[in-house]
Amino acid sequence: MAKVNVADLRNVAFCGHGNSGKTTLLDKLLVLTGAVSGEPSVDNGSSICDFDPEEKAHKRTIESSIVHFMHDGKRINAIDTPGYADFIGQTIGALRAVETAVIVVNAHSGIEVNTRRVFQEAGKAGVGRMIVINRMDEPNIDFPKLIEQLRDTFGNACALLNIPVGTGPDFKGVVTTLEKDHGAKGTLLPVADVHTQLIESIVEVDEALMEKYFEGEEPSPEKIEELTEQAIARGTLIPIVCCSAKTGVGLKDLLTVLAHEALPPGHIQRLAYKEGHKEGEEGDEIKLKSDPGAPLVAQVFKTRIDPFVQKLTYLRIYSGTLKKDDQVHVCGSRKGAKLGPLLDVQGAETKPIESASAGEIIAIAKMEDLHTGSTLGEFEMPRIPFPVPMVGLAVKPKSHNDEAKLSVSLHKILEEDSTLKLDRDPQTKELVMTGMSDLHLQILRERLHRRDKLDVDTRPPKIPFRETIMASAEGSYRHKKQSGGRGQFGEVHIRMYPLPRNITPEGFCTKDRFPQMKDFHFDPTHRFLWVNSVVGGSIPGNFLPAIEKGFKERIEKGVIAGHTVQDVAVEVHYGKHHDVDSSEAAFKIAGSMAFRNVFQQAKPALLEPIVRMEITVPESHVGDLYSDMSGRGGRVQGTDAAGGGYQTIFAEVPLREVTTYARTLSSMTGGQGSFTMEFSHYDIMPTSVQQEVVSKATMHEEEEE
């Protein structure tokens, strides 16, 4: 790539709701600036940004893609991001690589679900924000109402940099609002009024200038231009521009805004930390400088496996310089890494380059040691806060011969997608693929089929219930077997107690409760406490580990419904042994059976996972949501205004009730609702549901026998 000074770089991420026209807009800007030729189109599968086969098939952006073009001496690196929350991880990664988020709004549809989400994510990322109102050529646009909606939802910092002249077929151009009065006619809002709003947002960053302005002295055009970047960086200004990607009206003005108002590297304060710094701790930070001569700090924000199974690692360089074949330090790794080929990226196309410096976005090929979130250099960037996926599918290959192939293929997808989790549930024995939504998982299955010729069977995963007890009990079990030769003998006496979650093992193991206690072990995974109170050698010490092993095997296997046991304390206080017939195997069996028998006497109960949800819906649907949550056994914790006529409801609800909630919420709100979900805790399951689960488990056991 031709070398550009850091001050002449602009890194922007195009975000927004699906069908707002982000991809088409970027395709048109690439053509308009001469970066590409032809007429790229999403509809005919020739888009520069949507080049992935799944994107072409679905005609929607699924992965972020990087393109670049020049305008007014500025190199603009633009990242196209998906328009649906199912793929929000790609947007979050892209926001780490830029200084400005360009939030594209469909002029006809207005603010939609993902418009809100990306606006919030850009705020969390600390980048500047600007809004592009696209599709001004659509019919039936109420422009004044749309601007009112934007300011109501996103705040009074939203101010028009230009005003459309006409809408629909009559959309003929845009008029700048940086000038107070230039005789323009036919604008959809009064230029003077909008100019005042704009200048007030800009001068807010300079108190002295603001005082002069309110005394009647307007800043010079040069001063306004100087302060605009500061205002965007601080969030006192969110500029709005208008255009139509389809007709091309307003695109040249948009290019000028991107070149002169989007933030250059260095205008957003970035912090890196000493390697090994623990998140949340103060100190150890360094303020990064967008200086090619400074120490190297770069972070991987995206990984892609191309059709030839070549791993491409996408980097944003915040500080310093990278050169081809450099040996660099990778945070968290004991050894250095030799850089593979450095690449300049234009959609699916890449070109080799010799070096890249602060402010640039590049790709590196064939770097197996780098993963999304990895930092290169002596200082470490904060982790990228990808959301926790909550929609799962149990997956297995259609052919048993493809087991090994499935593992390799899923590993590639895990490299590419940081919002995918893969776990083999030790309780259910299922391989569970967990993603952001049904659509997200569907796209991943299509990718397995297309890229690896691998078809899989899927089904909803079993919900990982847990078993526990509600009361204390005690009992024993004698294992005695004689079948010729050496026999088997072991007898174990135990007491079992519920282990409260609000008490530590040390707080539970008091001398008042266990006066003869010798020692205890605690397993935090299952919250299982094992107490040794054996006295007088009734059980020789060498058999105690076998008893504990018997307990743990039973905990994994479950007692009443085949689910893992948790929150239980067991005291071994007595037993019997035989000098010849006792063995570790005998005492392991005796321990397991004693645990089972006493557990059944201690008021056993099932626990179920409870998730914490934040659900944002139009105010008109809040009542419906409350009724729906009540019917699912959920507890509403509170509400908060989300702006623009929306409310966010905070609730806790059993996971079994919301495994397919996305479809329900979409139906209930006409597609206007959105939610996030994360695990909260385990809680006692209602008795009627417990009986149903236990009954099914019993029937399943009988069928297997």
What is the predicted pLDDT for the residue at 437? 83
The 3-state secondary structure of 577-623, one letter per residue: CCCCCECHHHHHHHHHHHHHHHHHHCCEEEEEEEEEEEEEEEHHHHH
What is the predicted pLDDT for the residue at 263? 97
Q: What are the tens digits of pLDDT across the range 306-322?
A: 766 589 999 999 999 99
Q: What are phi and psi of 165, to 5 degrees?
A: -105, 100
The mean pLDDT value of the chain amounts to 91
Locate 604 and state its tokens. 């056993």
Q: What are the tens digits of pLDDT across the range 89-133?
A: 999 999 999 999 999 999 999 998 889 889 999 999 999 999 999
Cα dihedral sign, 220-226-228-230: negative
Q: What is the mean pLDDT of residues 351-363?
A: 96
Q: What are the tens digits of pLDDT across the range 679-693?
A: 889 999 999 999 998
Beta-bridge mates of residue 272: 286
pLDDT confidence band for 215 (50 / 70 / 90): confident
Phi-psi region of 466 (alpha: psi -120 to 50; beta: other; left: phi over 0): beta
What is the predicted pLDDT for the residue at 308? 64
Q: Over pLDDT 70: what percentage of the chain?
A: 96
Residue 648 has pLDDT above 80, yes or no: yes
Domain boundaries for CATH 2.40.30.10 within the chain = 276-380
Domain boundaries 467-602, CATH class: alpha beta
Domain boundaries for CATH 3.30.230.10 within the chain = 467-602
What is the predicted pLDDT for the residue at 504? 93
Greatest CA separation found in the chain?
110
Q: What is the mean pLDDT of residues 369-376?
A: 94
Residue 5 has pLDDT above 60, yes or no: yes
Q: Considering only 181-190, 469-478, 531-540, which range has the smallest mean pLDDT? A: 181-190
Q: What is the mean pLDDT of residues 474-479?
A: 96
pLDDT confidence band for 1 (50 / 70 / 90): low
Domain boundaries for CATH 3.40.50.300 within the chain = 6-260
Residue 695: CB atoms within 10 Å: 11
Q: What is the mean pLDDT of residues 175-200?
A: 85
Q: Considering only 72-86, 268-282, 563-577, which range has the smallest mean pLDDT? A: 268-282
Domain boundaries for CATH 3.30.70.240 within the chain = 607-688
Domain boundaries for CATH 3.30.70.870 within the chain = 391-462
What is the predicted pLDDT for the residue at 214? 87
pLDDT confidence band for 705 (50 / 70 / 90): very low
Q: State how far the Cα of 680 lies from the Cα of 691, in Å rounded to an integer.
A: 24
Residue 266 has pLDDT above 80, yes or no: yes
What is the predicted pLDDT for the residue at 484? 66
Q: What are the tens digits of pLDDT across the range 29-86?
A: 999 999 999 999 999 999 999 999 999 999 999 999 999 999 999 999 999 999 988 8
What is the predicted pLDDT for the residue at 701? 54
Q: State how far the Cα of 413 lies from the Cα of 81, in Å rounded to an integer.
A: 18
Q: CATH classification of 6-260 is 3.30.365.10, yes or no? A: no
pLDDT confidence band for 704 (50 / 70 / 90): very low
The larger pLDDT score, comparing residue 368 to residue 281, is at 368
What is the predicted pLDDT for the residue at 182? 63
pLDDT confidence band for 382 (50 / 70 / 90): very high
Beta-bridge mates of residue 16: 104
What is the predicted pLDDT for the residue at 703? 46
Superfamily of domain 391-462: Elongation Factor G (Translational Gtpase), domain 3 (3.30.70.870)
Fold (topology level) of 607-688: Alpha-Beta Plaits (3.30.70)
* C-alpha distance from residue 119 to each of 16, 28, 693 (Å): 8, 24, 43
Q: What are the tens digits of pLDDT across the range 397-416?
A: 998 889 889 988 999 999 99
Residue 88 has pLDDT above 70, yes or no: yes
What is the predicted pLDDT for the residue at 645? 80
pTM here is 0.80
Q: CATH classification of 276-380 is 2.60.120.890, yes or no? A: no
Cα 659 from chain centroid?
18
